[in-house]
Amino acid sequence: MKLTLGFSPCPNDTFIFDALVNKKIDTGIYSFDYVMEDVETLNQWAFEAKLDITKLSYGSYLDLAHPYALLHSGSALGKGVGPLLVSSQPIERSELAGCRIAIPGKKTTANLLLSLAHPEAKDKTEVLFSDIEQSVLDGRFDAGLIIHESRFTYAARGLHKIMDLGDWWENEMRAAIPLGGIVIRRSLPANIAADVDRLIRESLEYSWKHYPELSPFVQENAQEMEESVMRQHINLYVNEFSTDLGPVGRHSIETLFSKAKSGGLIAGNLPENIFY
């Protein structure tokens, strides 16, 4: 059975899916026709129901929980992994209402967290996540909301941290930060969802078994990233929640959805169970 699958070229995703898509594990009756795109493109495609299985920002999943169910494996969730708001000159949080802010996408979890923390910050423009640092340095924006490997490079490029949205979430909610998850069409039978969940878990276990070796698949798709940054990326974003969300992970996601609902950021009602 062939299934379409989408994930990003970032090291955390290629590390998770390497063994699955490159047949390093036994996938049984399943084969995967995969594509790699930045997370905001995957978010947009999910609104078009383009793929059977896809990486998705939790900020987008708020509006997609009816056509897609959340898998228990493959998520990016944890502590100390949140998006950062940065600027070329020091800015106080009290000034954000008047700032032009570059964001990686309206439906990203990063923007959802910023909207919850600072609903008054409304002058936002979508910019490809890898271009946000330079856009701020060039003066096109007063501030930028950075994700992924930019967490490790912004200071060296002379940018200042205004706030860590992850720290804000952890301190306010006493919960881990849900960044991105893996979802599957609800129209597929539950047994297929369970099989895919298991295969993602086995794929990740294969990668951990061979770590600290970095496979060619991870390195070739890392967008000229230095090896040390690849490892930082994997060590930060791939953790026990990536193997299985467990009760702590599921509680964190449900908390995010509850806060988004009470903040008027979800249109309509969520399904009774967001998981498959």
DSSP letters for 226-271: -HHHHHHHHHHH-SHHHH--HHHHHHHHHHHHHHHHHTT---SPPP
Is 146 in contact with 76 (CB distance < 8 Å)?
Answer: no
* Cα four-point dihedral sign 37, 38, 39, 40: negative
pLDDT by residue for the chain (276 residues), tens digit each?
A: 999 999 999 999 999 999 999 999 999 999 999 999 988 899 999 999 999 999 999 989 989 999 999 999 999 987 877 899 999 999 999 999 999 999 998 888 899 999 999 999 999 999 988 899 999 999 999 999 998 778 888 999 999 999 999 999 999 999 888 989 999 999 999 999 999 999 999 999 999 999 999 999 999 998 778 899 899 889 988 999 999 999 999 999 999 988 888 888 887 788 888 998
DSSP code, position 275 = B
Same domain, residue pair 168 and 183: no
Residue 262: predicted pLDDT: 87
Q: Is 56 annotated to bind ligand? A: yes
Same domain, residue pair 161 and 221: no
Give the end of a domain, one of 153, 173, 193.
173
Same domain, residue pair 73 and 184: yes
Amino acid at 132: I
Residue 224: predicted pLDDT: 73
Same domain, residue pair 42 and 164: no
Pairing of strands 101-103, 53-57: unpaired
- Which residues does residue 164 pair with via DSSP β-bridges, in sequence order? 84
Measured N-to-C along each axis, helices 227-237 and 11-21 cross at an angle, to the nearest 10 degrees, of: 80
- The single residue listed with the structure tokens 């949140």 is 82
Instruction: Tell me whether residue 276 is in a domain.
Output: no
Residue 265: predicted pLDDT: 83
Residue 261: predicted pLDDT: 87
Residue 25: predicted pLDDT: 98
Same domain, residue pair 99 and 56: no
Same domain, residue pair 11 and 127: no
Give the end of a domain, one of 145, 173, 201.
173
**C-alpha to C-alpha distances, 249 to 2, 53, 104, 154, 194, nearest whole angstrom:** 29, 20, 24, 28, 18
| Segments forming the whole domain that contains residue 226 | 2-77+176-262
Distance in angstroms (rounded) separating the CA atoms of residues 31 and 25? 11
Q: Is 125 annotated to bind ligand? A: no
Residue 214: count of CB within 10 angstroms of its CB: 19
Q: Is 124 annotated to bind ligand? A: no
Distance in angstroms (rounded) separating the CA atoms of residues 74 and 180? 9
Same domain, residue pair 72 and 89: no
Residue 45: predicted pLDDT: 97
* Cα four-point dihedral sign 226, 228, 233, 234: positive
**CATH for 162:** 3.40.190.10
What's the domain count of the chain?
A: 2
pTM of the model: 0.86
Give the end of a domain, one of 143, 173, 203.
173
- The single residue listed with the structure tokens 């009816």 is 66
Same domain, residue pair 39 and 117: no
Is 140 in contact with 205 (CB distance < 8 Å)?
Answer: no
Residue 37: predicted pLDDT: 95
148 is known as an active-site residue: yes
Is 113 in contact with 175 (CB distance < 8 Å)?
Answer: no
Same domain, residue pair 17 and 63: yes
Residue 152: predicted pLDDT: 81
Catalytic residue, chosen from 72, 118, 148, 233, is 148
Instruction: Tell me whether residue 275 is in a domain.
Output: no
Beta-carbon contacts of residue 216 (< 8 Å; ≥ 6 apart): none
Residue 11: predicted pLDDT: 94
